[in-house]
Structure 1
């Protein structure tokens, strides 16, 4: 039996314990709340237990694993245990513990216990660094999200929207266009430069320089999880200053005429960047409108070019 290692991290949040617990319990919201979490699939769910597959960054790489979570709302605890881990992790478990404090404050403790494959010291060090880095990011993000949720107007910083395009073509052709992002520099007018890595099949690291209407260039870096041939989920690791979080999904569904393509964006705005980016007097609503227009315009342009690509393939058959 390999050695069991333990770690505990803490943070105090200026928000009521039920608010904090609700954010921890809502696994569907994790990609929006927690920086390391790229995507979560709920495989099984009952009232107090979930089996999930999660994709997350760890020490500048992306890992995926399957975990079982047990929720205890009365005790304000969520325990977790990985069922299928990825090396160098041999086993991993832990618990979120939410403890009410005086003055509507909450202490959050996040514990981990883990074993490394073959007790390899380098593996233990890698896991320890990953836990420290991710837990610090998660607890800091949880604090911000809970305090915004408990305060006035916090909800105005979040927005989610869809853009839809109908295609008279093969869904597989549309998927190929969206999947092959390495060609976007040639295919998309608003993309200046692309770097694409895919060391694990269907798990991509995409870096892009994108042009804005005023001629500025934004560099973004994203993780993309690809599900042939129905959807591609992504999370930006490096966002423009106006956003603290940007998640998205391309979804392709068959239709009588061919297929329907939907681009979904989920964004959390950075209130401190509104005036520096948009100018004196700009408001959060101005930022919402700006981001909605900019992201929607680019994603719709991409879908229209995917439509052209797929429909041309039909004509040339």
Structure 2
């Protein structure tokens, strides 16, 4: 039996940001869906500040892949070692490390190293894994550099908010309404078209046409990761609006002694260039960051509340009918 060869690759990029800022971006993978385009959702399983175990979902070439990862964090050396627990075929093992090296005041070098083995050592498989690793690694480094170099403005570009409603009906019916997104055009007047593909249990590729208050139709595409046992649906838009770099969210169905609390949470990274382009057209003449934040909050909140209220009506009507 042939011994699997260990293949290695190394990538680096210089960043005009302090080393501590860059390390912080790498250390908190729960924020990666906002900062790294292919990342859809990170479900942290264990974290004690040094050891980090999580489940990650990524969209690549129209396919959603997921794996378990374990990381060891060393903040003093600004080094993070990682190892995938369940790599996808034909990969037998995948790991490596992130390192942030200070280069002087306000500058650093971000380095990413990979090591991997491929089942059977077939040249075509090795070449495919190397190409995919190369493409994703370079894209991740470029994107993280772009985000890090905005670090003085990042708090203003990030926006998190939520809406909630109280429902007097079964949590199962509320969750079922939110899960069956393909039925929304028949259930919600502001949704005119819905397409959904569930190629693996609980992971949905969706496309919606939504009517805005002025009658315009907007198309939203998203990946949704569903957790029915905990009443949660995590999602990320894969076709953001012109003023948004990334938009993620979560539907949460929480039963309690008063009935059911349903929460729609949003996290948004605004796009500075898009705000400048949208000023005078989407946001009004002379609009800036404050107007963009208000616009996103109002439009996303309006859709969330309308959806939650209809989910409540659906569940409460079903109870009365029974």
TM range (shorter): over 0.9
Match of 1:256 in 2: 257
Looking at structure 2, the residues matched to 122 and 295 of structure 1 have their Cα atoms a distance apart, in angstroms, of 45
TM-score under structure 1 length normalisation: 0.94
**C-alpha distance in 1, partners of 2:173/2:181?**
13
The one of 283, 286, 309 equivalent to 1:281 is: 286
Provide the rounded CA distance (Å) in 1 between the counterparts of 2:9 and 2:202: 32
Task: Please give the per-residue CA displacement for 1:101-145, whole angstroms capped at 9, x wherever unaligned.
Answer: 134211111111112233344433443333233223321221122
The verdict on how the C-alpha distance between 1:88 and 1:257 changes in structure 2, with shifts beyond 3 A counting, is: same
The superposition leaves residues 17-52 of structure 1 with CA deviations (integer Å, 9 ceiling, x where unpaired) of 111001111122222222121111222222311111
Partner of 2:24: 22
Return closer, same or farther for 1:196/1:121 CA change in 2, 3 Å cut-off: farther
Distance of 2:166 and 2:123 partners within structure 1: 54
What is the 5 A alignment of 1:126-275?
126-149=128-151, 151=152, 153-229=153-229, 230-275=231-276
Distance 1:294 1:77 in 2: 40
Q: Name the structure 1 match of 2:9.
A: 7
The Cα offsets for residues 263-291 of structure 1, whole Å up to 9 and x where unpaired, read as 00000111111243223300100000000
CA contact (8 A) 1:248 1:264 kept: yes
- Aligned residue pair count: 315
Equivalent residue number for residue 52 of structure 1:
54
The residue matched to 2:294 in structure 1 has which SS?
helix
Report the TM-score, using the length of structure 2 for normalisation: 0.93
Q: 1:119 aligns with which of 113, 118, 121?
A: 121
Q: Which ranges in structure 2 are unaligned for 5 or more consecutive residues?
A: none
Q: CA deviation at 1:256?
A: 2.0
2:99 to 97, 100, 105: 97
SS in 1 for 2:85: strand
